[in-house]
Amino acid sequence: MATYLEEQSPVYLDYNATTPLDESVKKAVFSALDLWGNPSSACPLGAQAKNVIDTARTSVSKLLNVAANDVIFTSGGTEANNWVLQLAVKVHKSEGREGKPHIVTTTIEHPAIIEPLKELVKDNICDVTFVPVDQASGMVDPGAIVRSLTKNTCLVTVMLANNETGVIQPIAEICDAVRRYAKQEELKHRILTHTDAAQAIGKIPVDAQQLKVDYLTIVGHKFYGPRIGALIARGIGTVPMFPFLFGGGQERNLRAGTENVPMIVGLGAAADCILAHGPSHMNHLRTLQDYFEAEIEEKLGDAVVVNFQSSNRLPNTSSVAFRKIDTTACDLLAKCKTFYASTGAACHSNVPKVSAVLLASGVSEDLASKTVRFSVGRETRKEDIDRVVSELKAMTFLSKYGSSLLNSIGIGKSVGGF
């Protein structure tokens, strides 16, 4: 007979991985499916498609406090990030500067930054400095960024919020520090700045003007939108831009390819949703995060530790190390029945890898291997948290005292054993 835990649907606590489409986004996408005209066509059908693209562009620009022309739609965050990296190298070369281009980033970036940079280094196209973060806070020191700059630095790229720890990085301070350095050194060239804001949109206010970056990456499916994205070039005409894809003249000759109208409309609708309800959504996330962390600390005591709890973090992300379990976080998640969450590890591997981000952030290998990332969303409720904490308490107890004891009191069957 199925237990009560098994009868209920698992609680989704992996909103940093992806989010469902908001109902308003679904309606917008479905409606736009009828706008099948080519936006580049001069006929009325094409004009209708172009108009809704322009409307979506305006919505995204309002969300980020930039001009509509600063928004360039892409297939997703990976494309936008790769575009910026290649753009910076091209700018360096186009200016006739001597020496190999140099890029500064951090050790905790998303693979969409780390991996293309490794390829550029492997192909001897540029040099890269990976700046470590402070191991107490999980934040990068703007001074450490400046100390890594050279006369050949063409780009500094630092994520706005880490996808695993939730720690928010001091982007505006970094941009100020980089520009002070360029002025003090009397550099004739500009050091470009970029932030991957994928995890931050919809969770904290994101204002490109306040962040002071030249470029910013957004990803729709992280904030209840479709799986496309956009590159924000703050002040096109004052920041350099080169085409990424060649062909037609779409996106003002910067990104060729017939536009995906329904997905672009959906991205605009997701932006509109945040513009209308952002503060209440963010307050909800913070309330749930506080409740979850208070509950696990009360119910599990010193069996858990919340990584970087005192740091400035996203209001939905809790990186929790289960330090008393005698197995890995991947194994813990495989046994749990009431919820879906994740680790930074490759749990599909036969030999799970410890999260590189956690290790780079100063978390010990032992704790990193036992860390689960819980990320709440708009749909999460306190009763969901109660269910999850109840099972986590049982699983932690089970790991400590053994399944035979818990089976004897009827707990082991409810949680599926360990």
Task: Kindly list the catalytic residues.
Answer: 347
Helix (H, G, I), strand (E, B) or coil at 274: helix
Q: CA angle, 78 as apex, 75 and 82 as ends, to 5°?
A: 110
How far is it, in rounded angstroms, from Cα 234 to Cα 214?
5
DSSP-assigned beta bridge partners for residue 375: 14, 317
373 touches 341 (CB < 8 A): yes
* CA 85 – CA 87 distance, rounded (Å): 5
DSSP string, 82-143: HHHHHHHHHHHHHTT-SS--EEEEETT--HHHHHHHHHHHHTTS-EEEEEPPPTTTSPPPHH
Q: Give me the phi and psi of 303, to 5 degrees please.
A: -75, -15
218 three-class SS? strand
Backbone angles phi, psi at 261, to 5 degrees: -55, -50
Rounded Cα gap, residues 321 and 185, in angstroms = 44
